[in-house]
Homo-oligomer: A and B are copies of this chain.
Amino acid sequence: MAIKKVGVMTGGGDCPGLNAAIRAVVRRAHQTGYRVMGIKNGWKGLLDINALELDALAVSGILPKGGTILGTSRTNPYKHEGGREKLLRNFENLGLEALVAIGGEDTLGVAATLWEEDKFPIVGIPKTIDNDLCGTDQTIGFDTAVSIAADAIDRLHTTAESHQRVMVVEVMGRHAGWIALYSGISGGADVIIIPEVPVNFHDVAELIMKRHNRGKNFSIVVVAEGAKIHDEKGERLIVRSTQVDEFGHVMLGGIGEVLGKYLTDETGFDTRVTNIGHVQRGGTPTVYDRVLATRFGVLAVDLVSEKQFGKMSALKDGKFVASELAEVKKGYRLVDEELYKIAAVFFG
Interface residues, chain A, with chain B CB atoms under 8 Å away: 10, 13-14, 16, 18, 24, 27-28, 31, 60-61, 63-68, 71-73, 137, 143, 146-148, 150-152, 154-159, 161-164, 167, 182-183, 185-188, 216, 246-253, 256-257, 260-261, 264-265, 270-279, 281-284, 286-288, 290-291, 294-295, 298, 315-320, 338-339, 342, 345-346
A338 contact set on B, CB distance < 8 A: 320
Q: What CA separation (Å) do A61 and B65 show in the bound complex? A: 11
Residues in B with CB closer than 8 Å to A185 are 290-291, 294
Most buried by B among A151, A158, A276: A158
Instruction: Tell me whether A276 and B278 are in contact (CB under 8 A).
Output: no
Q: Are B273 and A252 in contact (CB under 8 A)?
A: yes
Verify B247–A298 contact, CB threshold 8 A.
no
B345 and A143 within 8 A (CB): no
Q: Which residue of B lies closest to A157 (CB)?
A: B282
Residue in A65, A161, A284, A339 whose Cβ sees the most chain B Cβ within 10 Å: A161
Q: Which residues of B contact A146 (CB under 8 A)?
A: 287
Query: Quick one: closest B residue to A276, CB to CB?
Result: B276
Complex CA–CA separation, A119 to B156 (angstroms)? 38
Q: In whole Å, how far is A154's beta carbon from the nearest beta carbon of chain B?
A: 6
Check if A159 sits within 8 Å of B252, measured CB to CB: no
Complex alpha-carbon distance, A73 and B217, angstroms: 13
> Which chain B residues border A186 with CB–CB below 8 Å?
63, 287, 290-291
Given contacts A279-B155, A316-B318, contact A264 B249 (CB under 8 A): yes
Q: Which residue of B lies closest to A146 (CB)?
A: B287
Q: Which residues of B contact A183 (CB under 8 A)?
A: 287
The answer, among B161, B249, B257, for a CB contact under 8 Å with A260, is B249
Is the CB–CB distance between B158 and A286 below 8 Å? no
Residues of B within 8 A of A251 (CB): 253, 257, 273
Q: Looking at the complex, which one of B271, B274, B295 makes contact with A276 (CB distance below 8 Å)?
A: B274
Can you list the 5 inter-chain pairs with the closest CB atoms, starting with the nearest? A67-B158, A66-B158, A155-B282, A155-B283, A318-B318
Known: A61-B188, A252-B252, A252-B274. 11 other contacts (CB 8 A): A64-B154, A66-B159, A147-B286, A155-B281, A155-B283, A159-B278, A247-B257, A251-B253, A252-B273, A272-B278, A286-B286
Can you identify 29 A-B contacts, CB atoms within 8 angstroms? Answer: A13-B163, A14-B159, A16-B158, A28-B345, A61-B188, A63-B188, A64-B188, A66-B158, A71-B162, A72-B163, A137-B318, A143-B288, A151-B283, A152-B276, A154-B282, A159-B278, A185-B290, A185-B291, A185-B294, A246-B261, A247-B260, A247-B261, A251-B253, A252-B256, A272-B278, A286-B287, A295-B339, A298-B345, A317-B319
Please tell me if the beta carbons of B159 and A282 are within 8 angstroms of each other in the complex. yes
Contact B159 A345 (CB under 8 A): no
Q: Closest B residue to A62 by CB, please name it.
A: B188
Which residues does chain B contribute within 8 Å of A18, judged by CB atoms?
A: 162
A283 proximity list for chain B (CB < 8 A): 151, 154-155, 158
> Across the interface, do B72 and A290 meet the contact criterion of CB distance under 8 Å?
no
A67-B161 Cα distance, complex, nearest whole Å? 7
